[in-house]
Amino acid sequence: MPLTGPSTSSAATLFRRATADGTLGRTVTAAGTPSRTSPAGPTPGRTNPSGPTTPPRTVPPKARLVLVALFATALVAGGPGTVQAVGLPRPHGEGGVLTVAYDDGAGHRRTYVVVCGQAGGGDRCRRLRAIGGPVGPVAGGQACSMIYGGPQTAGVRGTWEGRDVRETYRRTNGCEVARWAQMAPVLPAPPEKGLPTGEETPAQPTQVLKGPKSHP
């Protein structure tokens, strides 16, 4: 039994009107202006009247990597701060901070700090720059004279020109005495009378004179 009534007749009237004016298949806006809807796609078995579909353009992987790198570089360059790479060598000429623990071997100990900036710092800093920083240990196997300089010892810890420093100085033989002398005036002068600060007396060869043999 067909449905009748106002709603049914109104729907039929709208259908006939849409078929007549060509608005069938289009969406009518609130203002009454029809707008075309997107087609569902080409009918299977038919050729697309607009021609072959152009595939979307893709960016090669290498180009994507280049774009990402350029974007990251732009972010770093435009950031509020300066980014410094980890592990890069520090610039030379920045000096350092060294802590010296001195023991005179007689029960007197003192500790002091040597601070050297990029310029200035006094005689100690000028000496350190002249010798390239704290003197390293005596090379293994080096022949050293058996000259005992004294019981003094000194430990030097800290940084110099970006490198860590952990050195121990003593005066137990000729090599260590010379090493100590190179570090003057960073290290205290030995308590020897008549010597200017930071200088050492060179070792003098000892000559033994023998007299004539006595005969019984």
pLDDT digits (tens, 9 = 90+) for 169-205: 999 999 999 999 999 999 998 775 433 333 333 333 3
Judged against a pLDDT cut of 90, whether residue 158 lies above it is answered with yes
Higher-pLDDT residue of 180, 62: 180
Q: Closest Cα to residue 143, out of 167, 178, 194, 187?
A: 178
Q: What is the pLDDT of residue 190?
A: 79
Q: Which top CATH class is 96-182? A: alpha beta
Residue 210 has pLDDT above 90, yes or no: no
Predicted local distance difference test score (pLDDT) of residue 61: 57
- Selection from 124, 122, 123 nearest residue 100 by Cα: 124
- pLDDT bracket for residue 94 (50, 70, 90): confident
Q: What is the pLDDT of residue 117?
A: 87
Please report the sign of the dihedral spanned by the C-alpha atoms of residue 149, residue 154, residue 160, residue 165.
Answer: positive
Q: What is the mean pLDDT of the chain?
A: 69
100: DSSP letter: E
Phi, psi of 77, deg, nearest 5: -65, -30
Nearest residue to 156 (alpha-carbon basis) of 195, 214, 112: 112
Give me the mean pLDDT over the 69-80 stretch.
Answer: 46
Would you say 180 and 170 are in contact if contact means Cβ atoms under 8 Å apart?
A: yes
